[in-house]
Structure 1
């Protein structure tokens, strides 16, 4: 985490180098997409801070049948490398590029081809159809899984900024509030379990204008979208406000402004992700059984879950608690290794975490949470405290960062169009305060009311703390349907 305040003394550094890239092997426990035509990541990606991806016209690559995937070819009709000598040369160059990335935080050997789909709503639909197979007569949100991997039932439940439960059904196609009349504990637990939580935390009646809503039926054996029916209005204009988990409330409330060492309990959802005993990335606890991290922290085929551990409730890597063990790692199947789009992964733990003063989950944001330019948020992590260093910080560091709108972040002087709608920028255009190597997968946190929400996952950037090069984070708000549906599916497995 880079924090270059001239008035602040230099923070301590972790005395040993960051762990080297895990060996490239092949294991099945890391999930890189679940649909036909999805190609696993074809090269390791490890360090979060990259130069700006190059903006170029969209390139459509046709799938190559498995039987023909024998040679590694260059782009732009360049000569293909064949034979063991060419392979060794490519692997040698790749290893050198990885080492340079670890040392200097830059991706020197890869030119990214990027097409900005930001305002192209059809892109999401095209992506979904590519990774899942659905019958032509598929009906979304009817409570019945028509598609092979359930994408037709993945985006049917959401929450507004007041906690209001909204459900989309096949009867209407719109997200509508759920009427409070007839709602009870069983419905609350059933809905939260569907989203991957163990049960519900609380629910209440909330006022709503006299408009169309959904009333509950007695059907609790199926998803909530099939257990409601349209009503012309909700009785007493009351709708359901539901909270699946008590989250986002740290037990320590003091704050050190300007970037410094975090106090115990200040960010109780911050996790340190270790590979074979060394800190690799950050992660964020969001439920007793689940944590979020960055997809690029898990290069293709490099790990088995047993090689990874999560540590919570710690502010020093010299004083680690007992680890949380990882049962399964699910990388977003839409993750793009060249554009960093959808850079998010979900980790399922082998056992639920016990919450205490030092360990608490962060809240997932509402679909309509406002994040105007300049909103003051925080980021934290054990990453390096200065660009170019190969050692992470032994102490958990924290720093304030301001939200930067996508228009500003995509301007020519910043990232020139490389920021998609699945990303969010935060930092200071003047430089000085930023996340850095080793902070990947950690949280970008904003406060709403008395709760903290993880609105971003540390993903990429050019250097650390440079002028006009703020940090770029995977936007959690645009990944909510994937998070909830994946948690729900993994809870049943």
Structure 2
């Protein structure tokens, strides 16, 4: 990992021009006033100077590529894509600094920060009901996974037994076999569908049907009971007529407005109805993605454990159906913050978190969930996808756009992204890259926790990535890096199941 050079300043970046906005106070003006300001420490790559706010979504036009020798002196290798609002307080400044120090600062400071992050005590006035701390479940010596019997105190032995394949193909793992197998459609009905979806944290099922399976082995339904689905099936050598269950737990991935501009533009209401705005202390801090009436997917680094106030769920507000920060509807309250226990703030691996909302969201034309992908769903190199968020509009600006921005980006093969010319092996199996290797279209300067969505063959939009980190803005060979949702589906579904309403 490249080391941080304290004498190196952030390089320039280039943004799109959007319609004129009313003047906003800069972050430093809001915090310190117009007079002399204290000199901040050296800045992270994405953090505007004097002092560092949390970064915001920023849509870029093709930029001038920096010479190769510039790449050797980057301020830091990785930088968080997170941002703060126009009105600041000391609390927001501290949050900005916490994310600045605690997320993606390279090896020199990240090791210390990681120690803070990994060992901060969860019992310092932050009850378990608000923050999910690293879960070390207590299990008996005779624990058997997926036998429909809760052997562990938190139930983790039964929380990763269901997944979905292509076309919603339901697959269940049982203790009888240990493999994920399709469920035979014979005997299946709406009651089974509703109970299975409720088991996964959804309110009920949306649609179910029979699909043909090429597998010779399947799971037949036995006597109906109150057990989880893994306790209501038996391994069978085949399914009658090869008919197996397809199940959809939620109507998702539908846009109400579909006109889009490739180069980056201001989004319209209904274009990205799953995009959420997460506010802390009255300002937009991160993006989020609605995936069900009760759950929001976002980035783990939006909640640095070294900054305790941000771990208090009651301090957050979630806004949906927002395309302007000047026109906010009534917010949703947060009941619990669930940060991935395996999130590594040094390498950015498994940068994902879930918010459980205090009450379910009512879907409208402007507020709709994105679809979670199938466990094996892939989008090949060159697939055109979209990312969105609230962003700055001027080069190096700390002032955020009031408008929701959108930009098209291309999926980049991970082997290319890990090459020596790009990120030199820093992209893990839980990450993916998207952007333009020639420079230009990018999701730099933020909206940490915002969506990367791709349109599947059924024309529904799948949540493929969560905005995580990157270097620069629109530079050649420096695409955006996203948490790969399909790799972390077991974690997402297990947490939704354990926190099911």
Same fold (TM over 0.5): yes
Aligned counterpart, 1:281: 286
Aligned counterpart, 2:85: none
* 1:31-73 deviation digits (Å, cap 9, x = unpaired): xxxxxxxxxxxxx99658993259xxxxxxxxxxxxxxxxxxx
Deviation for aligned residue 1:434: 1.2
Aligned counterpart, 2:187: 182
Aligned counterpart, 1:378: 386
For the residue of structure 1 that corresponds to 2:244, the secondary structure is strand
For the residue of structure 2 that corresponds to 1:485, the secondary structure is helix
CA contact (8 A) 2:279 2:285 kept: yes
Aligned length: 413
Question: How far, CA to CA, are the matches of 1:96 and 1:330 in structure 2?
Answer: 18
**Equivalent position to 1:393, from 398, 401, 424:** 401
For the residue of structure 1 that corresponds to 2:220, the secondary structure is strand
TM-score (norm 2): 0.76
CA contact (8 A) 2:78 2:469 kept: no
Deviation for aligned residue 1:173: 0.8
Alignment gaps of 5+ in structure 1:
23-43, 55-93, 114-128
CA contact (8 A) 1:18 1:278 kept: no
CA contact (8 A) 1:423 1:472 kept: yes
Aligned counterpart, 2:468: 459
Mean alpha-carbon deviation: is it higher for 147-156 or for 311-320? 147-156
Aligned counterpart, 2:118: none
Tell me, yes or no, if structure 1 residue 313 matches structure 2 residue 311: no
Alignment gaps of 5+ in structure 2:
1-11, 32-51, 58-74, 80-92, 112-133
Aligned counterpart, 2:265: 260
Question: How far, CA to CA, are the matches of 1:96 and 1:393 in structure 2?
Answer: 20
Tell me, yes or no, if structure 1 residue 98 matches structure 2 residue 97: yes
Deviation for aligned residue 1:232: 1.1
Deviation for aligned residue 1:141: 1.1
Question: How far, CA to CA, are the matches of 2:246 and 2:97 in structure 1?
Answer: 48
Aligned counterpart, 1:52: 77
Deviation for aligned residue 1:220: 3.3
**Equivalent position to 1:324, from 332, 335, 352:** 332
**Equivalent position to 2:169, from 159, 164, 169:** 164
CA contact (8 A) 1:363 1:451 kept: yes
Question: How far, CA to CA, are the matches of 1:208 and 1:109 in structure 2?
Answer: 48
Aligned counterpart, 2:425: 417
Question: How far, CA to CA, are the matches of 2:351 and 2:30 in structure 1?
Answer: 18
Question: How far, CA to CA, are the matches of 1:322 and 1:20 in structure 2?
Answer: 28
For the residue of structure 2 that corresponds to 1:433, the secondary structure is coil
CA contact (8 A) 1:342 1:474 kept: yes
Aligned counterpart, 2:205: 200
* 1:322-369 deviation digits (Å, cap 9, x = unpaired): 111111111111111111111111011111111111110000000111
**Equivalent position to 1:487, from 474, 481, 496:** 496
Mean alpha-carbon deviation: is it higher for 425-434 or for 191-200? 425-434
Matches within 5 A, 1:68-467: 98=97, 101=100, 107=105, 110-112=108-110, 131-209=136-214, 211-300=216-305, 301-303=308-310, 304-385=312-393, 388-448=396-456, 449-467=458-476
Which portions of structure 1, spanning 4 or more consecutive aligned residues, are displaced by more than 6 angstroms?
19-22, 94-97
